[in-house]
Chains A and B, each alone.
Chain A
Amino acid sequence: MAINILIVDDSGVMRSMIIKTLRMTEIPLGDIHQAGNGREGLDVLDEQWIDLAIVDINMPVMNGEEMIDRMHEDPEMKEIPVIVVSTEGSKARIERLEHKGVAFIHKPFTAEIVRDTINSILGLGENDES
């Protein structure tokens, strides 16, 4: 099954890096959508079928945490898995995000960390190990 992914980050270079990294993971990719802030991200979620959202936290207009809160209030969006990709180093903030049910990837990341986190949150590859 190909996975449709939404990447929300105000840095176009970071969005490109995440896409480049996703292509290195051998995860079956479907459509990859991009948004520059949480508001734009919610608009994409309204219009497209998305299997996974990869979201930055510090963004203008609407930050990633508010976007995640809005998703949880929407019956159509609340089940979409979310991975936060951020430089955040505070344990308290990371735990607060994890309590919202999201996975966390710290910047800078490796392709292995991205692959393992996606496999874990989507339950992929569990039968692949022998």
Chain B
Amino acid sequence: MMRAKFEEIMSQVTIETLEKLAFMFAFPGEGEEDHPRDSMVAGSVSFTGPFSGTLVMTISIEVLHELAANMLGLDDGEETTEDHRSDAFKETMNVICGNLLPPIAGDEVVFDIGVPGILSADQEMKKGAGIPDGLKPSAKVILDLDEGQCILFLFLDGEIPKDVVSQ
């Protein structure tokens, strides 16, 4: 029940963020495609507050190129740099995380959102990426875009107190 609610909120917030930040249109995906490991980039941002956790986002490299170019307003043919792509990805995760928590917990509570980071391939989804060891995601969302896929995982440190979940 709670998982379905989180996934619906994550999906809505991410679709709206990608549209407003980068004019990119995402849709709920039907399933995870078989991505070669080097075709995806992963990042994470952790948060603390009435409950704590980590949002992990994995996106296709093609999506990341388009995301950075659109956020910067580059013309067709103009190339983004590695710094642009990293910065755009981190800012996108920051905006998604910041907009994800109020619909879950309401706007009366205070969360501190950490500094987003890019995960290296061997760090992805493992301890050291800010993800509690051995924990399964509390929510997972797959979104399809023209350029590829975007997959989000929400890991929570323990249970969410019932009194902080927004109705």
Asked if A12 is at the interface (CB within 8 A of a chain B CB), the reply is yes
In the complex with contacts A58-B113, A90-B109, A92-B108, A13-B71 CB distance below 8 A = yes
Q: How far is it, in angstroms, between the C-alpha of A90 and the C-alpha of B49 when the chains are bound?
A: 11
A14, A20, A109: residue with the most chain B Cβ atoms closer than 10 Å: A14
Given A87-B99, A108-B17, also A11-B91 (CB < 8 A): yes
User: Does B113 contact A17, Cβ atoms closer than 8 Å?
Assistant: no
C-alpha gap A82/B77 in the complex (Å): 36
| Chain A residues bordering chain B, tally (CB within 8 A) | 21
Give CA–CA (A56, B111) in the complex, Å: 16
B73 touches A16 (CB 8 A): yes
Whether A107 sits at the interface, judged by CB under 8 Å, is yes
Give B9 Cβ to nearest chain A Cβ, in Å: 12
A92 to B108, CA, bound (A): 7
A28 to chain B, nearest CB (A): 20
Interface centre among A11, A16, A89 (most CB of B within 10 A): A89
Chain B residues with CB below 8 A from A91, complex form: 107-108
Q: Which of B33-41, B81-89, B126-134, B143-151 lies on the face that meets chain A?
A: B81-89
In the complex the two chains form, is A13's CB within 8 Å of B91's CB?
yes
- In whole angstroms, how far apart are the Cα atoms of A13 and B67 in the complex? 11
Within 8 A of A (CB), among B70-120: 71-73, 83-84, 87-88, 90-91, 94-95, 97-99, 101-102, 107-111, 113, 115
* Contact of B16 with A by CB under 8 A: yes
Most buried by A among B17, B88, B91, B99: B91
Q: B87 near A12 (CB under 8 angstroms)?
A: yes
A99 within 8 A of B: no
In contact, A13 and B99 (Cβ under 8 angstroms): no
User: In the complex, what residues of B have CB within 8 A of residue A13's CB?
Assistant: 68, 71-72, 84, 87-88, 91
User: Residues of A at under 8 Å CB distance from B?
Assistant: 11-14, 16-17, 20, 58, 60, 86-93, 107-110
